[in-house]
Homo-oligomer: A and B are copies of this chain.
Amino acid sequence: MTDQRPYAALLAKGEDRRQRILAVAQRLLSRQGSRGTTIVQIAREAGVTPAGLLHHFESKEQLLHAVLDARDAFDEARADRMGDIVEELERVAERYREAPELVGLFSVLQMENIEPGAPLHDRFRTRYWVAVETLAEGIRRGQRAGRYRTDLDPTVKSVEIVAFITGIQTSWLLDPSIPLTEVFTEYTASLTRQLAPPSDTP
Protein backbone atom coordinates (compact mmCIF):
# COMPACT_ATOMS: atom_id res chain seq x y z
CA MET A 1 0.00 0.00 0.00
CA THR A 2 2.96 2.32 0.61
CA ASP A 3 3.86 4.37 -2.41
CA GLN A 4 7.41 3.81 -3.65
CA ARG A 5 7.55 6.75 -6.05
CA PRO A 6 9.99 9.54 -5.25
CA TYR A 7 8.46 12.31 -3.20
CA ALA A 8 5.53 10.03 -2.41
CA ALA A 9 4.21 11.91 0.61
CA LEU A 10 4.39 15.24 -1.17
CA LEU A 11 2.60 13.94 -4.20
CA ALA A 12 -0.06 12.37 -2.01
CA LYS A 13 -0.78 15.69 -0.38
CA GLY A 14 -1.03 17.35 -3.77
CA GLU A 15 -3.33 14.65 -5.04
CA ASP A 16 -5.51 15.16 -2.02
CA ARG A 17 -5.87 18.86 -2.69
CA ARG A 18 -6.44 18.11 -6.34
CA GLN A 19 -9.37 15.90 -5.51
CA ARG A 20 -10.82 18.53 -3.23
CA ILE A 21 -10.64 21.12 -5.99
CA LEU A 22 -12.26 18.64 -8.36
CA ALA A 23 -15.13 18.05 -5.95
CA VAL A 24 -15.76 21.74 -5.37
CA ALA A 25 -15.56 22.46 -9.08
CA GLN A 26 -18.08 19.75 -9.84
CA ARG A 27 -20.55 21.07 -7.31
CA LEU A 28 -20.32 24.66 -8.49
CA LEU A 29 -20.23 23.87 -12.21
CA SER A 30 -23.33 21.71 -11.98
CA ARG A 31 -25.38 24.66 -10.74
CA GLN A 32 -23.80 27.71 -12.31
CA GLY A 33 -22.23 26.30 -15.44
CA SER A 34 -18.76 27.05 -16.70
CA ARG A 35 -19.38 30.69 -17.53
CA GLY A 36 -21.09 31.33 -14.23
CA THR A 37 -18.29 29.90 -12.16
CA THR A 38 -14.95 31.64 -11.68
CA ILE A 39 -11.62 30.13 -10.79
CA VAL A 40 -11.49 32.49 -7.83
CA GLN A 41 -14.72 31.04 -6.45
CA ILE A 42 -13.61 27.44 -6.86
CA ALA A 43 -10.22 28.21 -5.33
CA ARG A 44 -11.73 30.00 -2.34
CA GLU A 45 -14.12 27.16 -1.50
CA ALA A 46 -11.31 24.65 -1.85
CA GLY A 47 -9.08 26.65 0.46
CA VAL A 48 -6.50 27.69 -2.11
CA THR A 49 -5.57 30.82 -4.03
CA PRO A 50 -6.30 31.02 -7.76
CA ALA A 51 -2.62 30.60 -8.45
CA GLY A 52 -2.56 27.55 -6.23
CA LEU A 53 -5.39 26.04 -8.20
CA LEU A 54 -3.60 26.64 -11.47
CA HIS A 55 -0.64 24.78 -10.06
CA HIS A 56 -2.76 21.62 -10.20
CA PHE A 57 -4.73 22.38 -13.36
CA GLU A 58 -2.95 24.35 -16.00
CA SER A 59 -6.01 26.24 -17.18
CA LYS A 60 -9.71 26.65 -16.48
CA GLU A 61 -10.63 24.67 -19.56
CA GLN A 62 -8.35 21.84 -18.56
CA LEU A 63 -9.98 21.75 -15.13
CA LEU A 64 -13.32 21.49 -16.88
CA HIS A 65 -12.15 18.50 -18.88
CA ALA A 66 -10.77 16.89 -15.75
CA VAL A 67 -14.14 17.21 -13.99
CA LEU A 68 -15.92 15.68 -16.97
CA ASP A 69 -13.37 12.89 -17.26
CA ALA A 70 -13.89 11.98 -13.62
CA ARG A 71 -17.64 11.78 -14.13
CA ASP A 72 -17.30 9.82 -17.34
CA ALA A 73 -15.12 7.25 -15.62
CA PHE A 74 -17.66 6.97 -12.82
CA ASP A 75 -20.53 6.45 -15.26
CA GLU A 76 -18.68 3.95 -17.40
CA ALA A 77 -17.96 1.79 -14.39
CA ARG A 78 -21.70 1.56 -13.82
CA ALA A 79 -22.68 1.17 -17.47
CA ASP A 80 -20.90 -2.18 -17.76
CA ARG A 81 -23.19 -4.00 -15.38
CA MET A 82 -26.39 -2.73 -16.98
CA GLY A 83 -29.36 -5.05 -16.97
CA ASP A 84 -32.84 -4.54 -18.34
CA ILE A 85 -33.24 -0.94 -19.48
CA VAL A 86 -36.64 -0.44 -17.92
CA GLU A 87 -35.44 -1.64 -14.53
CA GLU A 88 -32.42 0.59 -14.95
CA LEU A 89 -34.63 3.55 -15.70
CA GLU A 90 -36.59 3.04 -12.52
CA ARG A 91 -33.42 3.37 -10.50
CA VAL A 92 -32.53 6.76 -12.01
CA ALA A 93 -35.00 8.59 -9.81
CA GLU A 94 -33.41 7.21 -6.64
CA ARG A 95 -29.99 8.42 -7.69
CA TYR A 96 -31.30 11.96 -8.04
CA ARG A 97 -32.05 12.21 -4.37
CA GLU A 98 -29.07 10.17 -3.20
CA ALA A 99 -26.54 12.34 -5.01
CA PRO A 100 -28.17 15.61 -6.09
CA GLU A 101 -24.81 17.29 -6.64
CA LEU A 102 -24.06 14.89 -9.47
CA VAL A 103 -27.21 15.55 -11.39
CA GLY A 104 -26.95 18.84 -13.20
CA LEU A 105 -23.36 18.65 -14.37
CA PHE A 106 -23.82 17.31 -17.87
CA SER A 107 -27.16 18.98 -18.56
CA VAL A 108 -25.90 22.40 -17.56
CA LEU A 109 -22.57 22.22 -19.32
CA GLN A 110 -24.12 20.63 -22.39
CA MET A 111 -26.47 23.59 -22.72
CA GLU A 112 -23.55 25.98 -22.65
CA ASN A 113 -21.96 24.08 -25.53
CA ILE A 114 -24.87 23.70 -27.90
CA GLU A 115 -23.39 26.00 -30.49
CA PRO A 116 -21.19 24.15 -32.99
CA GLY A 117 -17.74 25.51 -32.37
CA ALA A 118 -18.20 25.78 -28.63
CA PRO A 119 -15.18 24.33 -26.84
CA LEU A 120 -16.95 21.20 -25.60
CA HIS A 121 -19.52 20.84 -28.36
CA ASP A 122 -18.09 17.75 -29.99
CA ARG A 123 -17.49 16.04 -26.69
CA PHE A 124 -21.13 16.42 -25.70
CA ARG A 125 -22.49 15.48 -29.10
CA THR A 126 -20.62 12.21 -29.23
CA ARG A 127 -21.54 11.59 -25.60
CA TYR A 128 -25.17 12.08 -26.57
CA TRP A 129 -25.00 9.50 -29.34
CA VAL A 130 -23.17 7.04 -27.12
CA ALA A 131 -26.04 7.30 -24.65
CA VAL A 132 -28.62 6.81 -27.39
CA GLU A 133 -26.75 3.87 -28.89
CA THR A 134 -26.24 2.17 -25.54
CA LEU A 135 -29.95 2.41 -24.89
CA ALA A 136 -30.83 1.27 -28.39
CA GLU A 137 -28.58 -1.74 -28.02
CA GLY A 138 -30.40 -2.58 -24.80
CA ILE A 139 -33.69 -2.51 -26.65
CA ARG A 140 -32.34 -4.64 -29.48
CA ARG A 141 -31.13 -7.18 -26.96
CA GLY A 142 -34.62 -7.36 -25.49
CA GLN A 143 -36.08 -7.73 -28.98
CA ARG A 144 -33.80 -10.60 -29.89
CA ALA A 145 -34.65 -12.31 -26.61
CA GLY A 146 -38.33 -12.04 -27.49
CA ARG A 147 -39.12 -9.90 -24.47
CA TYR A 148 -39.83 -6.79 -26.54
CA ARG A 149 -41.97 -6.35 -29.61
CA THR A 150 -40.02 -5.91 -32.82
CA ASP A 151 -42.14 -3.41 -34.72
CA LEU A 152 -40.61 -0.27 -33.25
CA ASP A 153 -37.36 1.44 -34.15
CA PRO A 154 -34.86 1.09 -31.28
CA THR A 155 -33.04 4.31 -32.14
CA VAL A 156 -36.20 6.40 -32.35
CA LYS A 157 -37.41 5.09 -29.01
CA SER A 158 -33.97 5.69 -27.48
CA VAL A 159 -33.91 9.29 -28.64
CA GLU A 160 -37.28 9.70 -26.95
CA ILE A 161 -36.11 8.15 -23.69
CA VAL A 162 -32.94 10.22 -23.59
CA ALA A 163 -35.06 13.31 -24.25
CA PHE A 164 -37.34 12.41 -21.36
CA ILE A 165 -34.45 11.90 -18.96
CA THR A 166 -32.75 15.13 -20.02
CA GLY A 167 -35.99 17.05 -19.69
CA ILE A 168 -37.01 15.67 -16.33
CA GLN A 169 -33.55 16.50 -15.04
CA THR A 170 -33.93 20.09 -16.13
CA SER A 171 -37.38 20.27 -14.56
CA TRP A 172 -36.16 18.80 -11.31
CA LEU A 173 -33.22 21.16 -11.13
CA LEU A 174 -35.53 24.11 -11.70
CA ASP A 175 -37.98 22.94 -9.05
CA PRO A 176 -37.15 19.88 -6.92
CA SER A 177 -40.74 19.73 -5.71
CA ILE A 178 -42.05 18.11 -8.88
CA PRO A 179 -43.56 14.63 -8.40
CA LEU A 180 -40.39 12.92 -9.55
CA THR A 181 -41.11 9.33 -8.53
CA GLU A 182 -44.67 9.41 -9.81
CA VAL A 183 -43.58 10.71 -13.20
CA PHE A 184 -40.86 8.09 -13.44
CA THR A 185 -43.12 5.19 -12.51
CA GLU A 186 -45.76 6.48 -14.91
CA TYR A 187 -43.30 6.74 -17.76
CA THR A 188 -41.60 3.41 -17.18
CA ALA A 189 -45.00 1.74 -16.85
CA SER A 190 -46.09 3.16 -20.19
CA LEU A 191 -42.77 2.06 -21.66
CA THR A 192 -43.28 -1.50 -20.48
CA ARG A 193 -46.72 -1.52 -22.05
CA GLN A 194 -45.26 -0.34 -25.36
CA LEU A 195 -42.34 -2.72 -25.34
CA ALA A 196 -44.32 -5.79 -24.35
CA PRO A 197 -45.04 -8.13 -27.28
CA PRO A 198 -48.74 -8.09 -28.33
CA SER A 199 -49.12 -11.80 -27.57
CA ASP A 200 -50.03 -11.47 -23.90
CA THR A 201 -53.21 -9.37 -23.82
CA PRO A 202 -55.63 -11.54 -21.89
Contact = CB atoms under 8 A, between A and B. Distances in A.
Contacts of A193: 194
B166 A114 contact: no
Given A111-B108, A190-B194, A179 B159 contact: yes
A187 B159 CA distance: 10
A124 interface: yes
Copies held by the complex: 2
Interface residues of A, number: 46
Most B CB within 10 A of own CB, among A35, A159, A179, A182: A159
A153 interface: yes
A148 to B, nearest CB: 14
A9 interface: no
Interface string A101-118: 000100110111011000
Interface stretch (A71-79, A88-96, A139-147, A168-176): A168-176
B163 A168 contact: yes
Q: Main secondary structure on chain A at its contact with chain B?
A: helix
A32 interface: yes
Interface string A62-86: 0000000000000000000000000
A41 to B, nearest CB: 13
Interface string A162-202: 11111110110111001100110011001001100000000
A163 B168 CA distance: 5
Interface of A: 31-33, 35-36, 104, 107-108, 110-112, 114-115, 121, 124-125, 128-129, 152-153, 155-157, 159-160, 162-168, 170-171, 173-175, 178-179, 182-183, 186-187, 190, 193-194
Given A121-B174, A165-B167, 15 more contacts: A33-B111, A35-B35, A35-B36, A108-B111, A153-B182, A155-B179, A156-B183, A157-B186, A160-B187, A162-B167, A163-B168, A163-B170, A166-B171, A167-B168, A170-B170
